[in-house]
Chain A
Amino acid sequence: MNDSIPQAGPETVGNVRVPEPVFSCTDVNVHYGDKHAIKNVNIDIARQEVLAMIGPSGCGKSTFLRCLNRMNDTIPSARVTGRIALDGNDIHDKRQDVVQLRARVGMVFQKPNPFPKSIYENVAYGPRIHGLAADRAELDDIVGSSLRRAGLWDEVKDRLNQPGTSLSGGQQQRLCIARTIAVNPEVILMDEPCSALDPIATAKIEDLIDELRESYAICIVTHSMQQAARVSQRTAYFHLGDLVEVGETNKIFTNPRAKLTEDYITGRFG
């Protein structure tokens, strides 16, 4: 897999490794055709922890996130190299099935993207295709509990048969989260999940993230430093494809060690 010559970039500041990580990434590089979008990134993601990724626009946060459940496979020009291990197994290994990988690593997108189906069917979709429910009753249970954990149940319990697109933006995003947790994943990736939402909906989702942390590892991309500070335990700062600094969130925001990080969080940059 390591066919590209790793280009020398600045060493990442801070401790990239954690004990017993869910994900362990080594020398990850991503190219879009000629464009080198991620350069030699090394980072671990711990269990029951929220990792925030911040950085100026176009620095490769989404690209890196999409490596973790191989969503970049759907982009013909994208080429990912390096080792990304989930529970110690390389996700690019031939034995690793991409369908199963994505069942284990869920993803929530920037723009809510409910399917053109009913609310119920939206949440039931994952369990259905993966055969997680033995019967209709169990499926009902999964849908109900997922909607509950996504904090949407009370708002939609009387209209489960209405189309998912009939919900408000914030509700749609929580529906997408419910859809993701219905598959019972081990990691949830979130790419700016609140950027299209108002502060109240954002607060709800942040609460939700906080709760979900108890059962899942969560990786969240955000442009809001306050949000990163509120929800995450660790923070990674990306810059032009480089992972500049990783560290505990409160330390990064109060006492960044890399110059680039400092510039960014003090607002001199981006």
Chain B
Amino acid sequence: MNPSLVILLLLALVVVAFQVGKARSIEIVGGARGVRDLHSLPGHYGLLTAMWCGLPALAVFCIWMLAQDAIITHFALSSIPSAVAHLSPAERSLLLNDLHNIVNGRIDPATVAESTRIAAASYQSLRETAHLALAVLIAVIALLGLLYVRRRIRADLRARNSYEQVVEWALFACSGIAVLTTIGIVLSIVFEAVRFFQLIPITDFLFGLHWSPQMAIRADQVGSSGAFGAVPLFTGTLLISAIAMVVAAPIGLLSAIYLAEYADRRARSVIKPLLEVLAGVPTVVYGFFAALTVGPILRSVGETIGLNVASESALAAGLIMGVMIIPFVSSLADDMITAVPQSLRDGAYALGATRSETIKQVVLRAALPGIVGGLLLAVSRAIGETMIVVMAAGLAANLTANPFEAVTTVTVQIVTLLVGDQEFDSPKTLAAFALGLVLFLVTLVLNVIALYVVRKYREQYE
């Protein structure tokens, strides 16, 4: 009896419950002609019954499935006490990995140790039992729910109202997922970051000038500190983001102005979607482009004018990141510019201002708060952008403001620290979460300010 069968069983019961509830409501008022005496439609009684049948059982099912693996693993390991007694956490997780792989038929049992095989066998038989128990439990709960509602069905039972109440709660729960996600992000990152700060003092992390996390995974250096100064990452991130904004802000803004105020309808309807294509291109594509096309071009251009440009220079990554952000800036700016009421433009024109004078001195002036908000959002994007920098910026944590040198960023380091094999306890892995925390907080602050400014701006002209 595997879980998907259990779900099918439950579904069947729910369908039955619907029919039972519906039939019962009709029966109670003496047949189809008495339906008018019912408070709600027969279908509503059916739905209510189905809900009582299905929802509690489903909740139990979910809880069971979440807990099952941990509990069964525990018992399975206790069947081989001698083999697990002295395991380090890393070895233990390796063992568990093997165990799960055997159980799911991903590796050949012959390739692992005897004890693991025993544990796997015990896991499998325990799981059989557990699934059977689950099936019985689910069936019982579902039937109980069904019978409970059936007994309560009377002509004046407000079935529709109860059912709609549940629907409303369900809708509310769905919209609450956004909040849960935020909480999840905060909890998971903060939890790991705090563990990191227990190993490495937070001041060393925030103000240290030297970053080389690879050192710390050598056996003799586990837990040793001193290589986790994140300042070079912060400056690298800022350098690349600054280059990106230098590219994106003027181009995005000017093209938005041109399209909104100068281009005629036909040109706009062609050019706008064309520029928006840039927004739909996945960031790996930009990364590939930056690393393979732009990097070498910059390098050879640098060579001809006698500049030493690193092949993974901050400039290449920043330039392409800027291109990626252009449509973002441009569409935000476009929103802000078109939100400026025509009456202000008319006021300027009526005084004899030229078009550019109107735009520069009146329209942009009026749209300024909105545009600043949009630019802040763009900065937050640049800071959080990952793939372009992973592919086009380097790993070298140089503390420099020279755009021709290679720098590394917060996101690059998160990726390099976490991709590949990892132990959850090493400072190397935990450092990624500390960086993630900084990234999350900084972008959060930027976003909150930006969204607030933009909203206030919109309200002003609504």
**Which residues of A are interface residues toward B (Cβ below 8 A)?**
69, 71, 74, 76, 99-103, 106-107, 109, 111, 113-117, 125-126, 129-130, 176, 179-180, 183
Contacts and interface: CB of A to CB of B under 8 A. Distances in A.
B345 A116 contact: no
A5 B351 CA distance: 33
Given A115-B366, A125-B361, A130 B350 contact: no
Contact of B350 (A111, A116, A180): A180
Contact of B365 (A100, A113, A117): A117
9 shortest interchain CB distances as A-B pairs: A107-B350, A102-B352, A103-B352, A113-B343, A113-B347, A126-B351, A116-B366, A99-B352, A115-B362
B346 A109 contact: yes
Nearest to B369: A116
Contacts of A115: 344, 347-348, 361-362, 365-366
B357 interface: yes
Given A117-B365, A129-B357, A109 B349 contact: no
Given A71-B349, A102-B351, A103-B352, 15 more contacts: A69-B350, A71-B350, A76-B264, A106-B351, A107-B346, A109-B343, A109-B346, A111-B343, A115-B361, A115-B365, A116-B366, A129-B353, A129-B361, A130-B352, A183-B352
Contacts of A111: 343
A74 B349 contact: yes
Nearest to B264: A76
A258 B117 CA distance: 108
> Looking at A69, A107, A116, A180, which has the most chain B CB atoms within 10 Å of its CB?
A116
A111 B347 CA distance: 10
B372 to A, nearest CB: 14
> Looking at A101, A117, A126, A129, which has the most chain B CB atoms within 10 Å of its CB?
A129
Contacts of B345: 74
A117 B264 CA distance: 29
B201 to A, nearest CB: 49
A118 B345 CA distance: 17
A113 B346 contact: yes
Contact of A71 (B346, B354, B357, B362): B346
A129 B351 contact: yes
Given A115-B365, A117-B365, A99 B354 contact: yes
Given A115-B362, A115-B365, A117-B365, A100 B352 contact: yes
